[in-house]
Amino acid sequence: MYLRTTLKSIFNHKYLIKNFMVKDLKNRYQGSMMGFLWSIIHPLTTLAVYSLVFSWMLKMRVGMELGTNNFTLWMFAGLLPWIFFSETLSRATSVVLDNSNLIKKTVFPSEILPISLLLSNAVNFLIGFLILIGGMFLLGQPVSALSFLYVLVYIFPLVLFTLGFCWLCASLNVFFRDLGQIVSVVLNIVFYASAIIYPIHVVPQKFQGWFFWNPLIHVVQGIRDALFKLQFIKDGELIYLYTFSIIVFCLGQYIFQKSKKGFVDVL
């Protein structure tokens, strides 16, 4: 019932979602001289800093068993889905509170707010992905057109569970205002538990089973395998990733729809 209501609301308010997405993109760089160029500068500076620390200072290396011996490209392929997930969730957690004036004064479809944030961050993800592909060509890393289709296999569940978590945290944060701080702490932990700056095989074998339950590991590994090795992750990992994503998506929209009736009383 609630899922149908959510999907119907998304369809009926698609133009409103687009307007909020465009507004968010404009507001990010409003008044700055370089404007939208910051969407390119930010991922490049992030890549430069991580490369300086982990590749140059700490001398971290990867071998051809991972599909490439270029640590910078390998790491950037893992950073992109992480940046998309963490930035979207961080901002979406407070999105209902930030738009309380709309929710209190009008009959407003508040479930579209996390979606608009997700879409605006998807634009930045696409820009970062194009930078990655350009870097692969410049550095002589083979890349197949089929790789882009393989990558979509992991982008879809990434979007699903990101949106599910956004709905969940955005609704709960209305009633429990400390949640934003908790999300920030948890994201810091999840970053280091997602095998983004190190290959999973360096983790002791007895602990690797715990990493299986983190869906971001499968997304990160899947995108890397798609780009650098043109292959899928194991069937069991892929099944778990999609199962987890669908459950979180459905749970998130259910809790949001269930709790949104009380937003006006609390805001």
pLDDT by residue, tens only, the chain of 267 residues = 678 888 888 899 999 999 999 888 888 766 555 556 767 777 778 777 777 776 676 667 776 778 888 888 898 999 999 999 999 999 999 999 998 888 887 778 999 999 999 999 999 899 899 989 988 888 888 888 899 999 999 999 999 999 999 999 999 999 998 999 999 999 999 999 999 988 888 888 888 888 899 999 999 999 999 999 999 989 999 999 999 999 999 999 999 999 988 888 887
In this structure, how many other beta carbons lie within 10 angstroms of the beta carbon of residue 265?
Answer: 9
pLDDT at 35: 56
In DSSP notation, 15-56 reads: HHHHHHHHHHHHHHTTT-SSGGGHHHHHHHHHHHHHIIIIII
Q: Is 144 left (phi over 0), alpha (psi -120 to 50) or beta?
A: beta
- Where do the domains of the chain lie? 14-261
- The confidence score (pLDDT) of residue 44 equals 76
Q: In which element (H, E) is residue 182 found?
A: helix 179-192
What is the structure's pLDDT at 262?
85
For residues 88 and 245, give the distance between their C-alpha atoms in angstroms, rounded to a whole number. Answer: 16
Instruction: For 193-210, give one letter per residue: b (16+ CB within 10 A) or e.
Output: ebbbbebeeeeeeeeeee
Helices (H) and strands (E) in the chain, counts: 13, 0
The residue type of 107 is V
